[in-house]
Structure 1
Amino acid sequence: MQRSLTVSMPAFNEAENIPGMVADVLRVMPQLANEFELIVVDDGSRDETAVVTQQLARQHPQLKLVQHGENKGYGTAVLTGLTHASKELVFFTDADRQFDLAEIEKLLAHIETADLVVGYRAPRRDPFMRRLNGKGWSWLVTLLFGYTARDIDCAFKLMRREVIARLQNDIGSGGATFSAEFLVRAKQAGFKIVEVPIEGHRPRVAGNPTGANLRVITRAFKELMQFRLGLWREAKLTVKSGVNSEQGTAA
């Protein structure tokens, strides 16, 4: 089994979950990759997330901590982890232990014929309002950009490192809109996307989610509209550039 894999995860106030999450990765990864690393991005946590991760890193050389001096948002933390990856394949998930990591094997089964393999929670084991909000968000993203994935914000995605290299400088969303923008731009760039059902989604047992925070929601809608307007502007510039090129050729 010749496979190198980065596992990357953003973490904000996840000190309670980090030890178990690291243990999960160290248990699962040796069965799936002959070479792997784990990157934890501490996004300006106010608890002991960084301290706990540093302590574990002293025991496990595969573990690396990347820190943001202040909370920059979910999307920025995810992108930081992806761009720090050094392995051939890059997988990202959240640090909240809501997924059975053994199901990465389902994604790996498709990566030979795809550029990006995205999971969808089947079923999603979150409170009713979070599930409802998630469906509404996916509907809105699909309305504005067309279909990309059935579970846009599912934090269980595997990709080739070249996908990150191609998209990293184009991503403008640093908050919850990140996943939507990443998928839309990946689709526009012509990368092949495959969807896989993930059955091992579990209720959160420690820590507190931030998705329902009013500031997070406001930022998400603002970034979504900025992204939509930005794509329209990009399309106009492309058309204008094409017209100018034709005129120059004709002259």
Structure 2
Amino acid sequence: MPAYNEAEGLPGFLAEIHEHLAPLAERLEIVVVNDRSTDDTSRVLHDLAADLPGLVVVDAEVNRGHGPTALAAYRAGLERSPDLVLHVDGDGQFHGADLARVVRASGSTGADVVHGVRRGREDPWFRRVLTGAVGLVVAAAVGRRVPDVNTPLRAYRPATLTALLEGVPADALVPHVHFSLAEVRRDDLVRYVEVASLPRRGSNQTGTMWGVERPPKLPPKRLRQFAVASAAELWRVSLRPGAAR
């Protein structure tokens, strides 16, 4: 789990995750990588670690953004020698019960990866347009549609995840889009589970990633810059002829 400025929502979300996943595993460890949050996220996590079994807190040395922090979380998870790695963002936009459904689907289908496909998203119109555009580009590249191509809720077999990590740079902005492309090209066994999409936990509806405090009507500057940089990265890493891994 990557986390940035999620002090309000993390206690409840982590407790919910533990409640629903602990019965499914002989050993459950929840690895949270704190991306140099500017709120009380670090203190909250270390306080929780004293009482929540299996919670592992990693404080990043510098703020690197969501993509690199997600990749760091994946790598930290693999270091625990797991049978399965489940990724979810720290903003708490999923039910703990849906995380358990994704884990159970991994066990029952033997899939290399299970994607949680979000339903009922209440994102601003421009986020939906951006997601749709990325989906169309990926479909054109691999010859078929990939549902919810950038979903952050995924369960990976360690061998599959290790191979995917080798194909993206450690500072990738949109690692999950690269993963989705590579999974199709590698012919990995992918299964999809529909899950509910919830509002972000905590009092700030937008978080601090885009530099705005309220849901904007137009794309904020940081999001526009991120979209341009991500498009360039997708071309360079996964879409440019000869770049496919």
Provide the TM-score with structure 2 as the length reference. 0.82
1:180-212: per-residue Cα shift (whole Å, max 9, x none)? 1012222223321111111x2112242416365
Counterpart for residue 22 of structure 1: 14
Q: Which moved more, 1:81-90 or 1:174-183?
A: 174-183
Structure 2 CA distance for aligned equivalents of residues 205 and 61 of structure 1: 22
In the alignment, the residues of structure 2 paired with residue 82 and residue 176 of structure 1 have an alpha-carbon distance, to the nearest angstrom, of: 14
SS in 2 for 1:20: helix
Q: Which structure's residues are more often strand, by fraction?
A: 1
Match in the other structure for 1:136: 133
1:83 and 1:90 mapped to 2: Cα distance? 10
Q: Which has the larger radius of gyration?
A: 1
Q: Tell me, yes or no, if the aligned pair for 1:73 and 1:175 is still in contact at 8 Å.
A: no
The answer to whether the 8 A contact 1:74-1:174 is kept is no
Whether 1:106 aligns to 2:101 is: yes
Q: Given the superposition, is the C-alpha separation of residues 19 and 63 from structure 1 closer, same or farther in structure 2, using an over 3 Å criterion?
A: same
Offset at 1:128? 3.2
Identify which of 175, 180, 185 aligns with 1:183: 180
Residues 39 and 63 in structure 1, CA contact (< 8 A), matched pair in contact too: yes
Which of the residues 30, 42, 49 maps onto 1:38? Answer: 30
Partner of 1:68: 60
Give matches, 1:50-89, under 5 Å: 50-85=42-77, 86=80, 87-89=82-84
Match of 1:49 in 2: 41
Could you say which residue in structure 1 is the equivalent of 2:116?
119
State the match for 1:221 in structure 2.
231
Task: Classify the secondary structure of the residue corresponding to 1:210.
Answer: coil
Distance 2:5 2:20 in 1: 24
Query: Residue 175 of structure 1: CA displacement?
Result: 4.3
Aligned length: 226
Q: Which runs of 5+ in 2 are unaligned?
A: 211-219
Gaps of 5+ in 1: 1-8, 239-251
Give CA deviations for 1:120-178 in whole Å, capped at 9, x if unaligned: 11222333332232222222332344436210111111111111222222212734421
d(CA) in 2 for partners of 1:218 and 1:42?
A: 26
Identity of matched residues, %: 27
CA contact (8 A) 1:173 1:223 kept: no
Residue of structure 1 equivalent to 2:165: 168
- Asked if structure 2 preserves the Cα contact closer than 8 Å seen for 1:115 and 1:192, the reply is yes
Q: Which stretch has the larger CA shift, 81-90 or 220-229?
A: 220-229
User: 1:58-116: CA deviations, max 9, x gaps?
Assistant: 22241111122222122211111111122111111111111002112322333242100
